[in-house]
């Protein structure tokens, strides 16, 4: 497998084999390693010394390995200034794997203001002009590219948010059934790609499979069984998607509501997974869609608004940040906001956070879905208020003079209020990525390693729980596989068996966790060299000072516990026996 | 002398005597000490645990002590997140001193959205409603206050920028001859005051003098001599103001031009002190005005535009950041921009930096003074683009996607390009305030302590020069006296003699420097606890990577030298003999 470096300054393309000792490097492990080794920590995220790395994982291209085609995008974040990895589903990871590509590295700065695209095909990897696509949003862009280059392409691209280098701009990846609805959303990956002048990466679809496998038969056997288990155990995701969590999190009293000023949203029922499913059924949408080839979980849906607008996959975070957090209980309005984010290439989480902040600042009323749609439309127009909203929650708060900033390291909180889900608060505070639930999500009843107190409002054990979920999720991120296969002990054990079959080496639960632990420590070390200290691993003060209605919890996990997660905890502490 | 605490939550006013061991605490020494001791380092700058301290100095109220009525405003900066002190001239410091007040501390958060004012008079200190003044800018505000409360008042106030809690909002202080043209400009002091709901502090003028003096006769003798020396040695400031530097700095090749992309401005002559003086003479303006009672330097002017607009005091930083840095060589346009900043309550430095960034982003053309005026007018209107510009250069750069960010710790650089004036670069990088020339300004030929290489483009000795000027300037800031009395060895020696006469204790050059050194270390310690590390004591990478036309220097002072300034250098190193 190889890494391909594209120098955007002079247009040269260089291929480089992955060294044997790094044969397993992929996904977040590859992006974070390259950022840590090659990007000066004080480089400007949009400057000439920054790099953008797009990496798939070990099993990309092998459609029989379930959920294995995730696409990681790594860089120094334009939003946070920390190291950054965000990953997306979609089909690009799979097809890139079939060209023997583990990673693409975008380097330098373009010599002019022209947009370019990278075309990956059997003719090699070429940098082409994309000026005809300038100013297009993602939906129009993929349609135009398919018109020009054929239907059989997978596309990684940015919309107008990335073109403007907005801090909440995402990188979109086309879903297995076509639309650009999968996003490496967090931290401004789209801005980083935009700074490199790359509008799209177009990958010709290709049959075959990905990298070499040591024991194909054993791999097939394991994957068949694992896929069956995933299919059977994830019925709720197929039925309701991640939206199944809206009602329970609101009932728990931990759902971001009106800029994190309440934990229960009186309109939760109307934007719940159940309500959505009913509406989808009434209007002829779809459930149980796969975003990447060979997914047995199929958590994606297709929502249809009353006016016929089709929205590809409305997920929990979008429903809640764009919904409850903005006081909006109109499902169609929320779905349209999500569709606009996908189209413009914007992180729905930080966009919802920014709109909530704008509402707190009085620019519009909480609950006004129509005004929120008008406000969001400004992002694509490039207006000043659009740029503020497209810069995410933390920047919007500073520009608008709002003191309740729902962010850590300048990245917006996900929709789980850390006062009601304290383990999530630990993850927000301590992950090197800035607030990010996907870095290790202690949602209710999700177990860590061993017997831990899972009561979400009890502070006991939440540092351990966050650590466990961060390393287990990190292991999945490093393999480029979907976190919905886990993260839990049994899942990581599955992946260890699959890794053993694929590589012919002995991979264990412990070894995978050690890789993840080391990867996270590499990321923390980059952040330290970039000027981040333990003081940045804290939640904003109002989560400690202001009890969350209706149940009244505050975030009360002490600094020492937080610092243990990034400092003293090790895999050896958490996995006492060699598993 | 006393400190007065105003609790904005419940309206209580508490007086507290300065303890004897802190009898000399004033100005920046008092504000930084209170912030460091009382504000949690991770408090939000606009939140309930932050405080705003307004402090005058040891000699405030004694009009015969030259230049001694500076007003410091300290807080945790809404712009930088660091500790912050900015100080202004004007007459408020003097009159507060005559009420026995060394400092006012604004605490808590108001219970409602009403604006209030603090009235200091012989009837005591009262918190009154100021809702009738909401939405007024500084010029209208002081007129309205004088209409309502009498002409014989000195006023400290915020305009619409501070009301909006914009990160570049300043605190204005009325000048000795009336207009609100003196500003504690840097770092968003106006936003911090705005968050406390305080629109103005109105001080009835009062005769008499300030705090107790041990040897009045000796003080009078010293001050008479010192004032004569200042008057004689500062003729250039009286004739041309600080604007005398425009031409020489441009000729040196170190003048911020078009967002710091060049060091010589072809239009420098047209916005120079010489051109301004000629225009002032032609149009009936004034030179040599004192901003505070008893100033023998009198660097202020009054400029008159062709259309009759009167602008109180056009200074070097305003001329250059709003002029050369925006490519504007139209003196009337620059003067109007400065007038608008004073009126709205905005730092001219960060505002000029932000407009330059907006020009680099293509929102308007470099050199278009009329469009710049229209853009700046948006700040007072509260529009989105106004809020971006009013947030300063660093935030504007991030929102507008500009990678050449002229800022350190998110505070905009002054108009001295650090490539051409390397000692200034050291100060920008290392002062705990964020980029700030007033923290210790190695402008050409300004000596430090002992024999140092003063060649501004030679990196040798610039760490020592910056350290020397930071501690000498810090000593003046701690005394609440004007830095235009120095900063140089002989000036600090003067102040030591004056301190000895005032206190009856032995004050020396070394002792004053030690106070300043300790004060700066206290500030650095606060910053460390707030999450700032040595990695923040760096210039943006483009100052190292991109040579500055026309002479081509880069900033090439290494990290070790920078870290010495904040770490290992001591007064003992720099003052080998006990002076």
Note the Cα B89 to chain centre separation in Å. Answer: 9
The verdict on a CB contact (< 8 Å) between B41 and A535 is yes
Q: How many CB atoms lie within 10 A of CB B559?
A: 13
Contact list, B43 vs chain A (CB under 8 Å):
541
What's the pLDDT at B259?
A: 98
A100–chain B Cβ distance below 8 A for any pair: no
Q: Is B444 helix (H, G, I), strand (E, B) or coil?
A: coil
What's the pLDDT at A534?
A: 97
The HSE-up count of residue B347 (CA atoms within 13 Å, CB side) is 31
% chain B with pLDDT above 70: 99
CA B336 → CA A484, A495, B284, B319, B370, distances in Å?
59, 67, 17, 10, 10
Beta-ladder partners of A201: A118, A156
Q: Taking a C-beta distance cutoff of 8 angstroms, is the pair A539, A425 a contact? A: yes
**Which of A48, A78, A399 is opposite residue B391, by nearest beta carbon?**
A399
pLDDT(A579) > 70: no
The verdict on a CB contact (< 8 Å) between B395 and A400 is no
pLDDT(A469) > 60: yes
Please state whether the peptide bond connecting residue A487 to the residue before it is cis, i.e. omega within 30 degrees of 0: yes
The verdict on a CB contact (< 8 Å) between A387 and B395 is no
Q: What is the 3-state secondary structure (H, E, C) of B244-286?
A: HHHHHHHHHCCECECCCCECCCCCHHHHCHHHHHHHHHHHCCE
- The angle that helices B27-38 and B509-529 make with each other, rounded to 10 degrees, is 30
pLDDT(B264) > 80: yes
Q: Taking a C-beta distance cutoff of 8 angstroms, is the pair A280, A335 a contact? A: no
What's the pLDDT at A578?
A: 60
A496: phi then psi, degrees, rounded to nearest 5: -65, -45
Contact list, A384 vs chain B (CB under 8 Å):
383-385, 387-388
Q: Taking a C-beta distance cutoff of 8 angstroms, is the pair A97, A210 a contact? A: yes
CA A347 → CA A330, A343, A412, A540, B445, distances in Å?
20, 11, 10, 21, 52
CA A573 → CA A9, A257, B399, distances in Å?
47, 37, 43
**Which of B166, B195, B399 is opposite residue A388, by nearest beta carbon?**
B399
Distance from CA of B439 to the nearest CA of A (A): 22
**Which of B391, B395, B531 is opposite residue A535, by nearest beta carbon?**
B531
Instruction: Please write the tens of the pLDDT for every residue from B198-209.
Output: 999 999 999 999
Name the A residues in 545-564 with CB < 8 Å from any B CB: 545
**Which of B42, B398, B533 is opposite residue A541, by nearest beta carbon?**
B42
The verdict on a CB contact (< 8 Å) between B399 and A387 is yes
Instruction: Please write the tens of the pLDDT for every residue from B277-304.
Output: 999 999 999 999 999 988 999 999 999 9
**Which of A44, A403, A540 is opposite residue B405, by nearest beta carbon?**
A44
What's the pLDDT at B445?
A: 87
Distance from CA of B104 to the nearest CA of A (A): 23
The verdict on a CB contact (< 8 Å) between B399 and A391 is yes
The verdict on a CB contact (< 8 Å) between B383 and A388 is no
Q: What DSSP character marks residue B82?
A: S
Q: Cα(B374)–Cα(B333) distance, rounded to whole angstroms?
A: 11
Confidence of residue A391 (pLDDT cuts 50, 70, 90): very high
pLDDT(B578) > 80: no
Q: Is B169 helix (H, G, I), strand (E, B) or coil?
A: strand
B165–chain A Cβ distance below 8 A for any pair: yes
Q: Which residue has the tokens 């135009």?
A: A144
**Which of B48, B78, B385 is opposite residue A384, by nearest beta carbon?**
B385
pLDDT(A170) > 70: yes
Name the B residues in 249-308 with CB < 8 Å from any A CB: none
What's the pLDDT at A431?
A: 98
**Scanning every residue of chain B, which has its alpha carbon at the shortest distance from the alpha carbon of A393?**
B399
Contact list, B195 vs chain A (CB under 8 Å):
401, 403
The verdict on a CB contact (< 8 Å) between A531 and B530 is no
Q: Cα(B24)–Cα(B33) distance, rounded to whole angstroms?
A: 12
Mutation test of the interface with chain B: which of A39, A398, A411, choosing the one with the most B Cβ atoms within 10 A?
A398
B196–chain A Cβ distance below 8 A for any pair: no
Say what the ipTM of the complex is: 0.97
**Scanning every residue of chain A, which has its alpha carbon at the shortest distance from the alpha carbon of B194?**
A401
Confidence of residue B339 (pLDDT cuts 50, 70, 90): very high
Does the pTM exceed 0.95?
yes
% chain A with pLDDT above 70: 99
Closest CA to A304 of A335, A330, A274: A335
Beta-ladder partners of B104: B4, B54
The verdict on a CB contact (< 8 Å) between B47 and A403 is yes
Q: Which residue has the tokens 């699959």?
A: A498
What's the pLDDT at B579?
A: 52
Instruction: State the average pLDDT over residues B356-381.
Output: 98
Contact list, A531 vs chain B (CB under 8 Å):
532-533, 535-536
> And the tokens for B445?
């030929």
Q: Taking a C-beta distance cutoff of 8 angstroms, is the pair B416, B374 a contact? A: no
Q: Taking a C-beta distance cutoff of 8 angstroms, is the pair A85, A167 a contact? A: no
């Amino acid at each position: 497998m190889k890494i391909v470096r594209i120098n955007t300054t002079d247009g040269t393309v260089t291929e480089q084999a992955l060294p044997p000792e790094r044969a397993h490097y992929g996904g977040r492990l590859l992006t974070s390693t390259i950022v840590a080794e090659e990007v000066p920590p004080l480089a400007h995220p949009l400057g000439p010394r920054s790099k953008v790395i797009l990496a798939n994982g070990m099993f990309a291209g092998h459609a029989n390995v379930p959920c294995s085609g995730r696409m990681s995008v790594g860089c120094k974040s334009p939003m946070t200034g920390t190291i950054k990895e965000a990953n997306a589903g979609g089909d690009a990871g799979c097809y890139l794997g079939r060209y023997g590509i583990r990673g693409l590295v975008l380097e330098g700065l373009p010599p002019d203001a022209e947009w370019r695209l990278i075309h990956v095909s059997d003719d090699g990897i070429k940098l082409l002009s994309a000026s005809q696509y300038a100013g297009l949003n993602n939906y129009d862009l993929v349609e135009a590219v398919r018109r020009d280059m054929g239907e059989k392409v997978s596309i990684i691209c940015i919309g107008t948010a990335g073109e403007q280098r907005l801090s909440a701009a995402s990188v979109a990846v086309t879903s297995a059934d076509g639309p650009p609805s999968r996003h490496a959303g967090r931290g401004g990956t789209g801005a980083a790609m935009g700074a490199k002048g790359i509008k799209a990466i177009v990958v010709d679809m290709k049959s075959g499979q990905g990298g070499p496998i040591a024991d194909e038969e054993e791999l097939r056997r394991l994957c068949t069984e694992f896929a069956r288990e995933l299919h059977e155990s994830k019925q709720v995701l197929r039925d309701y998607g991640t939206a199944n969590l809206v009602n329970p999190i609101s009932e728990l009293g931990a759902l971001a509501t009106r800029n994190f000023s309440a934990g229960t949203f009186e309109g939760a029922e109307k934007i719940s997974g159940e309500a959505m499913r009913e509406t989808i059924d009434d209007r002829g949408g779809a459930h149980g869609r796969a975003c990447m080839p060979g997914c047995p979980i199929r958590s994606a849906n297709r929502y249809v608004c009353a006016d016929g607008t089709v929205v590809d996959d409305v997920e929990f975070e979008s429903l809640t940040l764009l919904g409850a957090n903005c006081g909006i209980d109109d499902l169609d309005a929320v779905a349209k906001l999500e569709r606009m984010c996908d189209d413009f290439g914007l992180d729905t989480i930080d966009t919802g956070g920014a709109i909530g902040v704008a509402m707190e600042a009085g620019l519009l009323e909480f609950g006004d879905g129509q005004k929120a749609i008008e406000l969001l439309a400004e992002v694509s127009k490039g207006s000043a208020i659009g740029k503020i909203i497209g810069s995410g929650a933390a920047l919007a708060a500073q520009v608008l003079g709002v003191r309740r900033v729902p962010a850590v390291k300048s990245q917006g909180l996900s929709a789980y209020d850390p006062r009601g889900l304290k383990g999530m608060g630990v993850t927000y505070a301590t992950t090197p990525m800035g607030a990010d639930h996907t870095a290790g999500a202690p949602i209710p009843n999700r177990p860590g390693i061993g017997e831990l107190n899972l009561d979400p409002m009890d502070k006991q054990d939440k540092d351990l729980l966050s650590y466990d979920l961060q390393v287990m999720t990190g292991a999945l991120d490093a393999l480029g596989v979907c976190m919905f296969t886990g993260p839990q002990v049994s899942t990581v054990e599955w992946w260890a068996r699959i890794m053993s079959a694929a590589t012919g080496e002995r991979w264990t639960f412990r070894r995978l966790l050690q890789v993840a632990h080391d990867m996270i420590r590499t990321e923390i070390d980059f952040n330290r060299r970039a000027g981040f200290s333990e003081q940045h691993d804290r939640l904003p003060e109002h989560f400690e000072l202001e009890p969350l209605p209706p149940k009244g919890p505050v975030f009360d996990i002490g600094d020492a516990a937080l610092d243990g997660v990034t400092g003293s905890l090790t895999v050896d502490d958490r996995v006492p026996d060699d598993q």
